[in-house]
Structure 1
Amino acid sequence: MNRAEPPDMRRTELAWQKSRRSNPSGNCVEMAELPTGEIAVRNSRYPDGPVLIYTREEVEAFVGGAKDGDFDHMLV
């Protein structure tokens, strides 16, 4: 389960990374590892907008499911 960002999180100090598959219109998410080991996720078009925080295990489960094709039906 994700949670909203803590109010004192300093986004500018995080090393945000965008996918190499991101397109020029900015339709992509960015991810950054927090000092706690959790993963922050945000919309690259709105870097000052909301940030969701996931555990490493949650991100591993999502990425594994994406690699396995579990979400392919949503792209049709």
Structure 2
Amino acid sequence: MLVREHLHVHLQATLAWRKSSASNPSGNCVEVAALPDGAVAMRNSRHPTGPTLVYTRAEIAAFLDGVRAGEFDDLAD
């Protein structure tokens, strides 16, 4: 099991950031990027130089499964 002391990191590499096509013009969205080690980085699109969170592929997969199942629909209301 991988244990991280810090999920917040400052990335040095140039990454291919992307966000949902449903993102609104005011930039209320998060962006994600694949990291060279297979992890996934996430940041606030309004603050691209701010903090970045890093998740494993398994963590992202579990979250996306929950999204597809509607487990977080109440957060968008």
Verify same fold: TM over 0.5. Answer: yes
Structure 2 unaligned runs (5+)?
Answer: none
Partner of 1:10: 12
- Could you tell me which amino acid in structure 2 is paired with residue 27 of structure 1? N
Percent of aligned pairs sharing the same letter:
51
Partner of 2:34: 33
Partner of 2:73: 72
- Could you tell me which amino acid in structure 2 is paired with residue 14 of structure 1? L
The runs of at least 4 aligned residues of structure 1 exceeding 6 Å deviation read none
TM-score (norm 1): 0.87
Structure 1 unaligned runs (5+)?
Answer: none
Residue 57 (structure 1) aligned with residue 58 (structure 2): yes
Displacement after TM superposition at 1:74 (Å):
2.2
Displacement after TM superposition at 1:75 (Å):
2.6
Displacement after TM superposition at 1:73 (Å):
2.1
Residue 45 (structure 1) aligned with residue 49 (structure 2): no
TM-score (norm 2): 0.86
Q: What is the aligned residue count?
A: 73
Secondary structure class of the residue paired with 1:31: strand
The structure where helix makes up a greater share of residues is 1
Alpha-carbon separation, structure 1, partners of 2:71 and 2:27? 25
